[in-house]
């Protein structure tokens, strides 16, 4: 978990020295294997998909990706992603069976050792184009000329309801800050629909969907009513236990309690959720796998 403040949404950006990335792309072709090289004469199947990076294999050694590493290429040519610590964005240009990522920019956050090591490995693999793409059954493999491979899986948005959302950041205005080390992994929320409401897997919610929210504030347990209206959630007055914890845990708890007894906006981006109050304060969380 990094301990550095970061500015949202853009962060401080710097040019990243990546070589052009060439990828064969298109729809699957039949062959009975469930996976095939995608061709130049078909609509690219890699675009419009959130690809979670599973691992990178370099010189025969496989390196498992940390949480959050992903690549996404929009149909309008915008490419975004995360190397495991730092985010990046670039412009994607298709020509034939290749795609070139140009004008790539990356954030400059310092994270713990493992994500930084993986980040360097992934960045080198993506920069070692041309890459050959094999797509099928929700999987994508990018292979370099040397035989190194980036393994990715298509990921859908996590549902609002029934998901354990583990808090990983606190937001104040345009600044987000990771939780203190003592609170890491201890604060989480789960939303539950009232019996008889629409299907609980509906991630976007609907007007007047009533239910509850429960979980942990890092120290004490919490529960409250929760009513979803479009992209907003009205959180009721919190009911909490009365345990006393360390100073950093109580500080985190006080920040999270400010979201209750009010209406917040929410946004789900694959496995990440943000809750933001009218004054710009809020929290970020990740869905547990």
What is the pLDDT at residue 97? 60
What is the pLDDT at residue 151? 95
103 pLDDT exceeds 90?
no
Mean pLDDT of 68-96: 82
Mean pLDDT of 90-112: 72
Which residues, 6+ apart, have CB-to-CB distance to 198 below 8 Å? 206, 209
- pLDDT band at 18; cut points 50, 70, 90: very low
- pTM, two decimals, is 0.59
Burial of 13 (0-12, 13-18, 19+ CB in 10 A): middle
Per-residue pLDDT tens over the stretch 39-49: 443 235 788 88
In the structure encoding, which two tokens stand for residue 226, read together? 């929760």
Per-residue pLDDT tens over the stretch 224-256: 999 999 999 999 999 999 999 988 899 999 999
In the structure encoding, which two tokens stand for residue 74, read together? 């929009």
Decide: 63 and 121 in contact? Cβ < 8 Å.
yes
Taken in order 88, 158, 212, 234, is the CA torsion positive or negative? positive
Per-residue pLDDT tens over the stretch 145-201: 899 999 999 988 899 999 999 999 998 877 778 888 889 899 999 999 986 555 444
Which residues, 6+ apart, have CB-to-CB distance to 181 below 8 Å? 1, 3, 248
């Amino acid at each position: 978990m990094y301990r550095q403040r970061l500015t949202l949404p853009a962060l401080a950006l710097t040019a990243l020295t990546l070589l052009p990335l060439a990828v064969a792309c298109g729809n699957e072709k039949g062959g009975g294997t469930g996976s095939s090289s995608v061709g130049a004469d078909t609509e690219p199947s890699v675009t419009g998909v959130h690809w979670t990076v599973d691992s990178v294999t370099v010189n025969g050694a496989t390196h498992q990706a940390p949480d959050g590493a992903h690549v996404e290429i929009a149909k309008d040519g915008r490419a975004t992603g995360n190397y495991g610590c730092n985010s990046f964005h670039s412009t994607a240009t298709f020509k034939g069976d290749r795609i070139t990522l140009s004008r790539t920019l990356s954030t400059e956050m310092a994270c713990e050792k493992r994500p930084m090591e993986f980040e360097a490995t992934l960045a080198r693999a993506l920069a070692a184009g041309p890459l050959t793409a094999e797509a099928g059954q929700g999987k994508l493999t990018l292979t370099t000329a040397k035989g190194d491979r980036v393994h990715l899986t298509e990921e859908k948005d996590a549902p609002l309801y029934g998901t354990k959302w583990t808090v990983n950041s606190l937001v104040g205005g345009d600044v987000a800050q990771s939780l203190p080390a003592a609170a890491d992994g201890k604060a989480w929320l789960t939303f539950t629909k009232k019996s008889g409401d629409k299907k609980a897997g509906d991630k976007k919610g609907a007007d007047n969907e009533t239910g509850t929210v429960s979980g942990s504030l890092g120290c004490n347990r919490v529960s409250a009513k929760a009513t979803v209206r479009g992209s907003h959630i009205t959180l009721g007055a919190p009911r909490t236990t009365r345990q006393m914890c360390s100073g950093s845990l109580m500080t985190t708890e006080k920040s999270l309690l400010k979201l209750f007894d009010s209406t917040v906006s929410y946004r789900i981006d694959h496995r990440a959720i943000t809750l933001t109050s009218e004054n710009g304060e809020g929290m970020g969380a990740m869905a547990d796998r």
